Amino acid sequence: MSLSGHAVEWVSPTSGVALVGRFSLTRGMRYVTHTHPLHQLVWARSGVVTVGVADTTWVLPPSRALFIPAGVPHTTAGASVADMHSLYLRRERCPALWTVPTVLAAVPMLAALIGHLSGPLPEEARGRAEAVLFDVLEPAPVASAELTWPRDDRAVRVADALAADPTDPHDAAGWARLVGTSERTLSRLFVAETGVGFGRWRTRLRVRAALELLAAGTPVAVVGRRVGYGTTSAFIAAFRREVGITPARCFGS
């Protein structure tokens, strides 16, 4: 059993700072809210994993990992079929890290170290590898489709409708009329409750939907149309602004 009570394949010994767990997730498979006594680093070698903390969800392709401090309640789910690896870091043996969930760049060195630490290693070799691991843990320059759901009923109705159909063309003014409020009020609600304006929130929602399609091998041009973009170039530009890399590079690792 894992530290959260669900089955897990352990692929490292219990010595050292880092324990590595490997999870095979199917699309829609979800672990309910739980906590760990250790810090956790969530990374998918393949596929897309989502992690939720309170009203915020992070969507993690192989190019991104998420650091979750010990004791933070969270959910984990497969947005697609995914090979998820979790590094559990003993707090008393590792350097000071972040105090809030933090998106990290899953550089090739990090992927290699996770694989290296998964196997049997002499104590000195494990110590050297763990020291390098902490050297390569760096926040991503752009987050990974971080999406916070609004709470006000009017904004929730808009968010739910867009989640059901990301291609819906209504702008903020159109949605405001549909939910019986003003454009100014709706815009204020999205900023106050999600941290970003309506347009940016919709872009992040579309990127989240796109990541799931890309993980399934759907061509980039098709994905762009399915999430509401008229041209492939417009989709790639919006995706790159949110994730920091192009759709093709997102799954290149």
Show the 3-state SS of 79-127.
Answer: CCCEEEEEEEECHHHCCCCCCCCEEEECCHHHHHHHHHHCCCCCHHHHH
Structural domains of the chain, with CATH: 9-136 (2.60.120.810), 149-250 (1.10.10.60)
57, 140 contact by CB (below 8 A): no
Q: What are the pLDDT digits (tens) for 23-82? A: 999 999 999 999 999 999 999 999 999 999 998 999 898 989 999 999 999 999 998 899
pTM listed for this prediction = 0.81
What pLDDT, on the 0 to 100 scale, is given for residue 120? 82
Residue 89's DSSP bridge partners are 18, 39
pLDDT digits (tens, 9 = 90+) for 163-200: 999 999 999 999 999 999 999 999 999 999 999 999 99
